[in-house]
Amino acid sequence: MFSPVPPCIREQIMKRIPPFDGIRWVAFTHFHEDHFDLDLVNRYLQEAAPEMLVMPEDTPNGVSSKLKAGVCSTEAIELPMGQCRSIRLWETGSLTAFPSRHAGREYEKVSHLCYVLEADGKKVLILGDSDYDTVFFKQMAGAMEFDAVIANPLFLHLPRGRRVFTQSIRTKEIIFCHLPFAEDDQIHFRNMMSEDMRQYETILPPMKALRIRFKSEHLVCQEDIIVGQNILIEISARHIHLSKEHLEILFGEGYELTVKKMLSQPGQFACEERVSVIGPKGKFSMSVLGPVRERTQVEISLTDARTIGVSAPIRESGDVEGSGSCVLEGPRGTVILKEGVIAAKRHIHTTPEDAERLGVTDRETVAFGGKYQ
């Protein structure tokens, strides 16, 4: 269900390569395998030698006795429910731990801690895999206002989880984590979270989602701002892209397209030139979009296709193998187009910079939505 830490990232952590350099304190909410690996933790303690390790006491399983802390100070916290313990980290920084139940009845005996990290005037609540108990969180955190709360997506998806934020915890923003990589997301956890963020944006504080993507040799850790991101939505009218060969047949040898206006896609433009697209039942006069392409492509709606009697399969741009046929007519000639008529699959154009910022990759399927103003 959840992704393991990729080997390249594990090595960066062990070798203290930025952003993993300078780590002085390490804290764990609980010891489930998607949060804690004893062998890796022991290796890190030996190689990185942080100043302090904070974790819940886990006497039945003896985790703390198996740690090779070395010079690292170990704080194994065991407290009655409803109590907390603060640890001074530096002059203006502290970590307060309090026990909470793990979500799910099957995990009710799991030792689990929540943390409040205070640093230089900022206050962050880390919920881990806590149960969604409004009364408990009102008791433990209701008197505080947080700059951010870090939570897993089920706090958003489940009504009980949302009530924790509407009734118990006050925060300026919610940051969701604990998401699988896209290629491991067999239950569509990421899409579920995107839909939930859009659906509940009006009743909850501003929300963000942390999605970690990795490349071959280095980590890219990003803040994927899904809610509140303004994206231009355009309706693309019927148009045609011409190859150089077909442009010269239709308009004459050596002909060059005339720019009418630039489009929102960098380097793309609408042209003064128009071409007739002819089918068995009728024809349309269509604008040409430039610059010229390797292959001619006619983009029309399914309604247009029925009107002029041609086939237009729903395809991504450029995928014209076995697509519809038509006749093109220009002022200087005619082209019988054997394939190239499509109805464009809905899609998003983005610059490489915006894609990097949003944490999306080429040809990734994403969910989006909005509301009328």
pLDDT in tens, 104-133: 988 988 999 999 999 989 999 999 999 999
Same domain, 202 and 251: no
Please indicate, yes or no, whether the overall pTM of this predicted structure exceeds 0.75: no
Q: Using the 3D structure, point to which of 224, 259, 278 is the last residue of a domain.
A: 224
Same domain, 253 and 183: no
Same domain, 33 and 88: yes
Q: Residue 350 domain-assigned?
A: no
Note whether 327 and 372 are within 8 A (CB). Answer: no
pLDDT tens, residue by residue, 167-187: 999 999 999 988 887 777 777
Q: Residue 231 domain-assigned?
A: no
Same domain, 15 and 159: yes
Quickly state the pLDDT bin for 302 (edges 50, 70, 90): very high
Same domain, 212 and 186: yes
Same domain, 245 and 210: no
Same domain, 218 and 260: no
Same domain, 177 and 248: no
Residue of 167 and 349 predicted with greater confidence: 167
Q: Residue 71 domain-assigned?
A: yes
Long-range contacts for 80-87 (Cβ within 8 Å, ≥24 apart)?
A: 81/136, 82/139, 82/140, 84/140, 87/52, 87/54
Q: Assess whether the previous peptide bond of 56 is cis (omega < 30° from 0).
A: no
What integer is the mean pLDDT of 355-369?
71
Same domain, 260 and 210: no
Same domain, 210 and 258: no
Q: Using the 3D structure, point to which of 163, 198, 224 is the last residue of a domain.
A: 224
Q: Residue 353 domain-assigned?
A: no
pLDDT tens, residue by residue, 37-96: 899 999 998 888 899 999 998 766 677 778 876 668 889 999 999 999 999 998 889 999
The Cα 6–Cα 215 span in angstroms is 10
**Number of domains making up the chain:** 2
The Cα 111–Cα 254 span in angstroms is 76
Q: Residue 234 domain-assigned?
A: no
Please give the residue range of the domain that contains residue 44. 7-224
Same domain, 77 and 117: yes
Same domain, 212 and 276: no
